[in-house]
A and B are shown apart, each in its own frame.
Chain A
Amino acid sequence: MRKTLTVAEMALREIARRRSVLAIILLLPLAFYLTRREEHLGQSIRFVFLGLSWALSTAALFAANAARGMEPRLRLGGFQTWQLVLGRLGALWALGGALSVPYFLLIRFDQHNVRYGSIALTMVLLTLVAPLFGVLLAAVLPRELEGTLVLLVVVGLQMMMDPSGDASRLLPFWFSREIGTYAVDQTGADYLARGLVHAAVMLTVLLAAVGIASAVRLRRRGHLRLAG
């Protein structure tokens, strides 16, 4: 456990020192929120979800890419792959939590007649899923530009695609739209249920994919036999 916590601590320290990046990440969801606040308050909440998912995925993508050079030598130096992955994810989840709280408070005091509990739930789920998506992109697309472009495409599609269409369910943050609709438009519980199922599936799939991609990347090659 100490090894995982040390990885998490160092990852947090590293992220905390990227002050300009942190400022952009903090302000990005606010920009999304303000674009729709005047004309459609409810829509602005869904845009905050989108901004949070983009900000957290991007932070995770860059943090994971920055660690690529270090991780193989840490793996050689006694860390298990899962300790490296879980430590980094722990740091990113903590960052997500810290980022979500002010936005929840903003919505809590700026918006009325919405289901605050469901909004908090969506933020928790986004905090869990978005870093996983960013870390997965970093694992399969080693160049930051490629990963950033894919993120851009995903968030763009999330914004433009009809959420009721089947294809939109393939998007990693579709659940935020469903639970968001439940929270903002006071729809039936079927929206909440669909959103929760989607989030659970995405969480499972992304965790498995990150685990597999990391295990492959940081595997000990078969030709090397360690004794003693």
Chain B
Amino acid sequence: MQQDVKLYARGITKRYGRRTVLDNVHLAVGAGQIAAIVGANGCGKSTLLRICAGLAGPDRGTVQVHGTLGYCPQDGGTVDFLMPEEHFLLVGAGRGLSRGASRDAGRAGARALDWEPDPGVQARRLSGGTRQKLNLVMAGIGEPDVLLLDEPYQGFDRGTYLDFWQQLYRWRDRGKAIVVVTHLLTQLDGVDIVLDLTPAGVRP
């Protein structure tokens, strides 16, 4: 693996029973690149991302990651009864950050999405879109080298959706390798790599 390639997934194959979801998929993402994984529902986008994160195992293939990983799931991934700032502290502790640094990193990430977390509101009381903002902010705490984002914009309004892409571009400028699962094609001209997982026979 070349030094500037941060994520290299090679020959990923995944089957559920007799159904092959991923068939010999390759993906290499370098520092300062955004890769978009696109495709129809059920074509294995989230599965590939989970495999890249090491949260699911493939039937065949390997994933090499150079550096640290940040992962934003499609849903879940937060604790209902904790406040957003407590999520920042928890994630920051894992990254070896002090409480102050964790809080600052979380608040800065929230500001980038035009969100000011209310200190008295638990995660379960947040709207779907705000909860996803929390999810995304958590993924970026500690400046991981590789960011794996699974449709993190669900529930975002249009303004936040644009803020989200601006945040991705900022991360890219800071040299991060970013993989984002999406089925929205409007932003594809802003990414560096497009991996279409739609099976050949299904493509229009």
Contacts and interface: CB of A to CB of B under 8 A. Distances in A.
A73 B77 contact: yes
A66 B55 contact: no
Interface in A64-113: 66-67, 69-70, 72-74, 76-79
A223 B62 contact: yes
B86 interface: yes
B27 interface: no
B111 to A, nearest CB: 21
Interface string A53-71: 0000000000000110110
Nearest to A225: B64
Contacts of B63: 223-225
A194 interface: no
Given A6-B93, A221-B56, A14 B81 contact: yes
Contacts of B76: 69-70
B94 A226 contact: no
Contacts of A73: 71, 73, 77, 138
B47 interface: no
A88 to B, nearest CB: 12
Contact of B64 (A3, A10, A67, A227): A227
Given A77-B142, A225-B63, A220 B54 contact: yes
Chain A interface SS verdict (over half):
mixed
Interface residues of A, number: 29
Given A67-B79, A74-B91, A77-B70, A10 B86 contact: yes
Interface in B53-112: 53-58, 61-71, 73, 76-82, 86, 89-91, 93-96
B27 to A, nearest CB: 13
B117 to A, nearest CB: 16
A208 B103 CA distance: 35
Nearest to B51: A223
A10 B65 contact: no
Contacts of A7: 90, 93
Contacts of A2: 93
Interface string A141-176: 000000000000000000000000000000000000
A225 B77 contact: no
Contacts, number: 99
A10 B73 contact: no
Contacts of A6: 89-90, 93
A188 interface: no
A73 B138 CA distance: 10
Given A13-B86, A77-B142, A78-B94, A221 B81 contact: no
Chain B interface SS verdict (over half):
loop
B65 A227 contact: yes
B86 A3 contact: no
A40 interface: no
B76 to A, nearest CB: 4
Interface in A193-228: 220-228
Interface in A1-37: 2-3, 6-7, 10, 13-14, 17-18
Contacts of A66: 79-81
Q: Which of A18, A73, A79 has the most CB of B within 10 A?
A: A73
22 contacts: A10-B79, A10-B82, A10-B89, A13-B82, A18-B81, A67-B79, A69-B73, A69-B76, A69-B77, A72-B55, A76-B54, A78-B68, A78-B95, A221-B57, A223-B51, A223-B58, A223-B61, A223-B62, A223-B63, A224-B62, A225-B65, A227-B1
Interface of A: 2-3, 6-7, 10, 13-14, 17-18, 66-67, 69-70, 72-74, 76-79, 220-228
Closest 3 CB pairs of A and B: A78-B94, A224-B54, A69-B76
Given A6-B93, A13-B82, A66-B79, 19 more contacts: A7-B90, A13-B81, A14-B80, A14-B81, A18-B81, A69-B76, A73-B77, A77-B70, A77-B142, A79-B93, A221-B57, A223-B51, A224-B53, A224-B63, A224-B65, A227-B64, A228-B66, A228-B67, A228-B145
